[in-house]
Homo-oligomer: A and B are copies of this chain.
Amino acid sequence: MAISVREIAKLAGVSSATVSRVINGSSLVTEETTLRIQRVIQDLNFVPNRSAIHLKNGKSQIYGIVIPDLTNPFFTETVKIFEELLFENEMELLVANTDFHSTRTQRSVHRMLLRRVDGVAILTSEFEAAPLESLVQNRIPVVTTDHYRTGPGISDIVVDFAGGMAQLVAHLKSLGHRKLGFVGGADGPITSRVRRESFLHAVVKQGLSSREGWMVPGDFKIEGGAAATARILSQPEIPTAVMTANDLTAIGALRAAHEKGLRVPADISIAGFDDIAMSDIVHPPFHEKPSLCQASWSTLTASK
Contact = CB atoms under 8 A, between A and B. Distances in A.
A113 B71 contact: no
A171 interface: no
A296 interface: no
State the copy count for this chain.
Answer: 2
A291 interface: no
A70 interface: yes
Contacts of A114: 47-50
A251 interface: yes
B1 A58 contact: yes
A197 interface: no
A116 B70 contact: no
Contacts of A52: 51, 55
A76 B70 contact: yes
B2 A47 contact: no
A205 interface: no
Nearest to A93: B95
Contacts of A115: 50-51, 92
Given A71-B77, A95-B95, A139-B2, A283 B280 contact: no
Interface in A90-126: 90, 92-97, 104, 107-108, 110-111, 113-116
Interface of A: 1-3, 44-45, 47-52, 54-55, 58, 60, 70-71, 73, 76-77, 79-80, 83-84, 87, 90, 92-97, 104, 107-108, 110-111, 113-116, 133-134, 137-139, 222, 251, 255, 258, 277-278, 280-284
26 contacts: A1-B58, A1-B139, A2-B116, A44-B137, A45-B137, A45-B138, A48-B114, A49-B114, A51-B52, A51-B55, A51-B116, A70-B79, A70-B83, A71-B76, A71-B80, A76-B76, A87-B108, A87-B111, A90-B111, A92-B94, A92-B111, A92-B115, A93-B95, A255-B281, A281-B281, A283-B284
Given A47-B113, A92-B94, 19 more contacts: A2-B138, A44-B137, A45-B138, A47-B138, A49-B114, A51-B52, A51-B55, A51-B116, A55-B55, A70-B76, A70-B79, A83-B97, A84-B97, A87-B96, A87-B108, A92-B111, A222-B281, A255-B281, A278-B278
